[in-house]
């Protein structure tokens, strides 16, 4: 039987992606993939729309989320898959994330206004679909209004790390993110673990209950992928992978270019079944 494929790491306009969940599903179908993992930042708001579109097109949706966390001053993103989306504590935390994202955006908009940049929260809310507000939404507005020439320049000049209008994001610790996903019945994966995430930290996260590693990603070299695959094998971890596609702000889309066998989803499902039965 021919192997089918899935991209397990795609963002929609419910966080900082450009495409609606329905458009992402259509792109998945067009790419010849069997399914897609919707993994928006700190929200699962786009999953119902994706599932409705997928039902029409015969595409499998793997519900996911990418939680923001921090360890020793370093951003660590934890992917969660197959959670109970209505789990009370999970819902409560995602609401907290959204509230804090809004407050952060408010602070950055105020800083920009003091710098003479005319931008409003109403514009940011509209751009973000009133969902998971992030810096990319502000960057898009700055670009369209002509304050910068490119999306990347908006970060460099105004809202990037150490820039004048930058504001720290609300984060929890990685172990808390892992515990939250587990409590909601899901599986946790360390997102795009580049070489700056050392072996010691990976081992700490494994001890905290991490279920797997993302080993396929645009930012991971073949050498790093093989290393992570060996770590996963040595510690009995699951693996995942995907394009981390945000819709293609440069006119190019990576959806489907970075993919993993669909059998990985079946392994994830079996892991959850085994856990519930133990």
Residue 250 pLDDT: 58
268 and 182 part of one domain: yes
- pLDDT value at residue 74: 86
Residues 267, 179: one domain?
Answer: yes
Same domain, 127 and 222: no
Q: Which residues contact 87 (CB under 8 A, 6 or more apart)?
A: 183, 184, 185
Within a domain: 169: no
Q: Does residue 198 share a domain with residue 62?
A: yes
In a shared domain, residues 23 and 52: yes
Shared-domain flag, residues 240 and 134: no
Helix axis angle, 199-207 to 174-183, nearest 10°: 30
* Over residues 43-61, mean pLDDT: 96
Q: What is the pLDDT of residue 73?
A: 83
162/156 Cα distance (integer angstroms): 9
Say whether pLDDT at 249 is over 80.
Answer: no
- pLDDT score of 247: 82
Task: Determine the average pLDDT of the residues in 174-203.
Answer: 95
Asked if 187 and 266 sit in the same domain, the reply is yes
Q: Tens digit of pLDDT for each residue in 216-246?
A: 999 999 999 999 999 999 999 999 999 999 8
21 pLDDT above the threshold of 60: yes
Q: Exposed/middle/buried for 266, CB within 10 Å: 0-12, 13-18, 19+? A: exposed
Where among 131, 159, 187 does a domain terminate?
A: 159
C-alpha to C-alpha distances, 265 to 174, 202, 240, nearest whole angstrom:
23, 22, 8
Domain termination residue (choose one: 159, 186, 207): 159
Count of domains observed in the chain: 2
- What does the block give as tokens for 123? 């514009």
Q: What CATH number has the domain bearing residue 128?
A: 1.10.150
Confidence band, pLDDT 50/70/90 cuts, at residue 3:
confident
Residues 10 and 124 in one domain: no
Question: How does pLDDT run across 117-160, given as a tens digit for each residue?
Answer: 999 999 999 888 767 898 989 999 999 999 999 999 999 999 99
- The overall average pLDDT reported for the chain is 93
The string of pLDDT tens digits covering residues 65-90 is 999 999 988 889 999 999 999 999 99
Same-domain status, 86 and 179: yes
The CATH number assigned to the domain holding 249 equals 3.20.20.140
Whether 251 shows a pLDDT value over 60: the answer reads no
Full residue range of the structural domain in which residue 198 is found: 5-93+174-277
Q: Is residue 253 part of a domain?
A: yes
- 278 has a pLDDT exceeding 70: no
For residues 152 and 42, state if they share a domain.
no
Category of 73 on φ-ψ map: left (φ > 0), alpha (ψ -120 to 50) or beta:
left
Model pLDDT, residue 150: 93
Q: Are residues 194 and 250 in the same domain?
A: yes
Domain boundary among 135, 159, 183: 159
Q: Are 53 and 61 in contact (CB under 8 A)?
A: no
| pLDDT at residue number 252 | 62
Using the predicted structure, report yes or no on whether residue 53 has a pLDDT greater than 70.
yes
| pLDDT score, position 1 | 54
């Amino acid at each position: 039987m021919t192997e089918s494929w899935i991209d397990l790491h795609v963002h929609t306009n419910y966080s900082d992606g450009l495409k609606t969940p329905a458009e992402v599903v259509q792109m998945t179908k067009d790419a010849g993939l069997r399914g897609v993992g919707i993994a928006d930042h700190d929200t699962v708001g786009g999953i119902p729309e994706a599932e409705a579109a997928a039902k029409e097109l015969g595409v499998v949706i793997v519900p996911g989320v990418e939680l923001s966390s921090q360890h020793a001053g370093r951003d660590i993103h934890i992917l969660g898959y197959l959670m109970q989306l209505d789990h009370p504590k999970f819902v409560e935390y995602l609401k907290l994330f959204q509230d804090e994202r809004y407050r952060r955006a408010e602070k950055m908009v105020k800083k920009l206004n003091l710098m003479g940049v005319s931008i409003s929260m109403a514009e940011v809310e509209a751009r973000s679909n009133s969902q998971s507000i992030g810096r990319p939404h502000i960057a898009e507005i700055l670009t369209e209004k002509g304050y910068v020439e490119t999306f990347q320049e908006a970060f460099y000049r105004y809202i990037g790390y150490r820039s004048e209008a930058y504001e720290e994001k609300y984060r929890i610790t990685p172990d808390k993110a892992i515990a939250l996903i587990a409590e909601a019945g899901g599986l946790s994966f360390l997102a795009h673990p580049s070489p700056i995430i050392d072996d010691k930290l990976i081992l700490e996260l494994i001890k905290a209950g991490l279920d797997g590693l993302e080993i396929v990603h645009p930012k991971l070299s073949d050498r790093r992928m093989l290393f992570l695959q060996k770590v996963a094998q040595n510690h009995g971890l699951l693996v995942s992978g995907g394009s981390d596609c945000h819709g293609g702000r440069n006119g190019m889309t990576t959806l489907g270019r970075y993919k993993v066998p669909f059998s990985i989803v079946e392994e994830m499902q079996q892991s959850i079944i085994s856990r519930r039965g133990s």
